[in-house]
Amino acid sequence: MARIPYYDRANASEEYAKLLAKLPDDINVMRMLSHAEPELKPFLKFTDAILRKSAIKKWYLELALLRVGHLSKAAYEIHQHEHIARGVGGTPEKIAAIAEGWTSPVFNEHEKEILRYTDDVVQNVRASDYTFVPLSKRHTHQEMIELTMGIGCYMMVSRLLNTFDVEIEEGGDKLVEIKRD
């Protein structure tokens, strides 16, 4: 059970209700985040930029985001992003192995570098040269920044999900979809 009630849209101002109308009303993460009215719209724009507009290959990004979910023990995060990962080329075998991390033999060297880097950022805040340098040889500066921003953003999301005990929706088949303007 969530630690605080999910946001009641009936309490929204007319202007805020317009934004909320673009969000699914049965997705618990959106229902919880709706409590933060001033932050919600910029948060949605930021996560949209990370997930949809980043230059980094989407599978590499999802590999990192799912690893963040596993390191954070964020079941909701893992549930949502496993679906996304399948849609951007993640195989069931690789998605399942993300919990194990970079030592799993299913990953190629590039994927292992992303997983090691993600572990380093999550666990140590500043990535060491050991994980940063090899990855920075494969990626542009933009991609490195976007990957690191994605890791940091989804660390925050995982902490929100866990702190507020956001539950996976009954049936577990509801996924975040946001209506675009």
What is the DSSP code (8-state) at residue 170? T
pLDDT at residue 172 in the model: 61
Q: pLDDT at position 180, please?
A: 40
State both tokens at 169: 């929706």
For each of the chain's 181 residues, which pLDDT tens digit applies?
Answer: 999 999 999 999 999 999 999 998 889 999 999 999 999 999 999 999 999 999 999 999 999 999 999 999 999 999 999 999 999 999 999 999 999 999 999 999 999 999 999 999 999 999 999 999 999 999 999 999 999 999 999 999 999 999 999 999 987 665 555 444 4
pLDDT of residue 52: 94
According to the model, what pLDDT value does residue 170 have? 84
The candidate with the shortest Cα–Cα distance to 121, out of 98, 70, 155, 93, is 155
What pLDDT is stored for residue 173 in this prediction?
Answer: 61
Enter the pTM of the model. Answer: 0.92
Cα(110)–Cα(117) distance, integer angstroms: 11
Residues 140, 55, 94: CA angle, nearest 5 degrees: 95
Instruction: Tell me the pLDDT tens digit for each residue of 47-84.
Output: 999 999 999 999 999 999 999 999 999 999 999 999 99
The answer to whether 1 and 168 have CB atoms below 8 angstroms apart is no
